[in-house]
Amino acid sequence: MKIKDVAIIGSGVSGATAAFHLAKLGRDIVVLEKSKKENSCKICGGGMSSSVQKYFSFDLSPAIEETINSVEFTWELKDNVIADLPGLSPFWIINRKYLDNLIINKAIDHGASLIEEFFVNEIKKDGKVWEVKSNRGEKLLAKSIIIADGSNSPWPKIFGLGARIPQKAKTISITIKGRGNLKDRTSRFEFGLIKHGFAWAFPTKDRVNIGAGTFIGKSSTNNKEMLEVFISSLGFKPKQEEIQENLLNVWNGHHRLDGEGIILTGDAASLCDPFLAEGIRPAIISGYEASKYLNNWLIGESKNLKGYSLSMKEKWGNSMAWGKKIAQVFYRFPLIGYQLGVKRATAPKRIAEILSGDLGYGDIAQRAIKRLIMKGK
Ligand SMILES: Cc1cc2nc3c(=O)[nH]c(=O)nc-3n(C[C@H](O)[C@H](O)[C@H](O)COP(=O)(O)OP(=O)(O)OC[C@H]3O[C@@H](n4cnc5c(N)ncnc54)[C@H](O)[C@@H]3O)c2cc1C
């Protein structure tokens, strides 16, 4: 049996990004995906910083459903703060099915192969070669593995990589046809209704993705009712039975994301922002970085993959360490956080910079935390 250079588990945005870059570098790649491309339906708000375009040599616009130039924040549906995002829209609402398929199709154009309906249920190493098996007994051999199968991945625990006990944000979400009373090119963030978290409304072409996430402690039992209040305020009739519940791994500390010939990316690596649940950008960054470090290892230019974990720490983790601290203080004292963080005169500019990826949490955190702690005393 031919031994592939890399077997990628999962064709979501992180796996697809890694596949695209590795295939472009000439590596022999196989992507193993449990579902079928045309049926894939990702639960995701679709909010994405336009800065990720720089990771691709092709245009991402076929996946963009709306370009956002204004973000509206509320506290219990009042006390509005509007942040106008200047210049070219730094924030897009994308269709996840289109984005993931666009990237994986480009990877295939560069020679990657995709095997659909391949549910990976066994990964083991025999000497230097990885053996991957599906639940139907199909078998594949590879020199290296990228674990990109999302928040429910069992593999980090099995291989002793990533967060020992992943921190889970609890999400509830729904997609509703129409625009309700949502203003054009505007995203909504509501902070007062949801305990220990926030609610969002992101417009797509003909629908609105609405949801809520809780980031610290237990989620409140009335979050679904509160989401319904939010949905009604947007001019829609809430349909409780269509609200979906999901757990999302969020960043919870600096961890080893590589082993011998194995790398974790995206949600499987628990990279999602613990304050705002931004997961697409770190999935793309990690897919890109994984491809660089794996390629160097495969062609013998580096002895191990440690550089990947270090690079993710530097490019993402250091900012998330501050994001986690901000989340812990903000969601514990949310009204103070809203008054001092969101309602500040400089906030709209800062928010625009965070959403566009120009600003890391570390840049704003020390001053913000100091303000919150002083006020909380
Ligand atoms: C309700 C909700 C709203 C969100 N909104 C946003 C947002 O607006 N903006 C944002 O940036 N982030 C958002 N996120 C987070 C974002 O969706 C994730 O961080 C992102 O999808 C991570 O990409 P990934 O490639 O790591 O994993 P995924 O996109 O989950 O891809 C994993 C892939 O692996 C496949 N797979 C799983 N198990 C196996 C297996 N055993 N064998 C083979 N294949 C397998 C899956 O089918 C899937 O295709 C949201 C998340 C939720 C839950």
Tell me whether strands 3-9 and 258-259 are parallel, antiparallel or unpaired.
unpaired
Token pair 């600003």 in the structure block, residue: 359
The CA 273 to ligand 1 mean position distance, Å, reads 13
Strand, coil or helix: what is 165?
coil
pLDDT reported for residue 149: 97
Mutate to test the pocket of ligand 1, among 267, 271, 275 (most ligand atoms within 8 A of CB): 267
Give CA–CA dist 106/60, Å, rounded. Answer: 11
Yes or no: say if 42 and 97 are a contact pair by the CB < 8 Å rule.
yes
pLDDT reported for residue 88: 62
pLDDT reported for residue 377: 63
CB within 8 Å of 184: residues ≥ 6 apart:
203
Helices and strands of the chain, counted as H and E runs: 10, 18
Amino acid at 257: L
pLDDT reported for residue 359: 81
pLDDT reported for residue 111: 98
Rg (CA), the chain: 21
Instruction: Write out the H or E segment, with its range, that includes residue 19.
Output: helix 13-24
Ligand 1 atom at minimal distance to the Cα of residue 15: 25
Which tokens go with 39? 């049926």
The CA 42 to ligand 1 mean position distance, Å, reads 7
Give CA–CA dist 111/346, Å, rounded. Answer: 48
Give CA–CA dist 370/82, Å, rounded. Answer: 24
The CA 344 to ligand 1 mean position distance, Å, reads 33
pLDDT reported for residue 300: 97
Which tokens go with 254? 């600096």
Give CA–CA dist 314/277, Å, rounded. Answer: 19
Give CA–CA dist 68/185, Å, rounded. Answer: 4
Rounded mean pLDDT for each run of 10 residues along the chain, 377 residues in total: 96 98 98 86 90 96 94 93 76 94 97 97 96 97 98 96 92 94 93 93 94 83 89 89 90 97 98 94 98 98 97 96 90 89 78 76 73 65
Half-sphere exposure at residue 331, Cβ-oriented, CA atoms within 13 angstroms: 24
pLDDT reported for residue 219: 62
The CA 367 to ligand 1 mean position distance, Å, reads 33
Name every protein residue with a CB atom under 6 angstroms from any ligand 1 atom: 9-15, 32-35, 42-48, 118-120, 148-150, 171, 173, 211, 246, 248, 266-268, 272, 277-281, 283
pLDDT reported for residue 372: 64
Ligand 1 atom at minimal distance to the Cα of residue 121: 41
CB within 8 Å of 126: residues ≥ 6 apart:
none
The CA 375 to ligand 1 mean position distance, Å, reads 37
Nearest residue to 147 via CA among 37, 302, 261, 298: 261
The CA 12 to ligand 1 mean position distance, Å, reads 6
Nearest residue to 99 via CA among 64, 68, 66: 64
- Atom 31 in ligand 1: residue holding the nearest Cα: 12
As annotated, the residues of the chain forming the CATH 3.50.50.60 domain(s) are 3-65+95-166+252-323
Under CATH, to which class is 3-65+95-166+252-323 assigned?
A: alpha beta
Yes or no: say if 351 and 71 are a contact pair by the CB < 8 Å rule.
yes
Predicted TM-score of the model (pTM): 0.95
Give CB contacts under 8 A, 24+ apart, made by 349-356: 349/83, 351/71, 351/73, 351/83, 352/71, 352/83, 352/84, 352/85, 352/86, 352/90, 354/276, 355/47, 355/49, 355/71, 355/85, 355/90, 355/91, 356/49, 356/50, 356/51, 356/85, 356/90, 356/91
- Atom 49 in ligand 1: residue holding the nearest Cα: 12
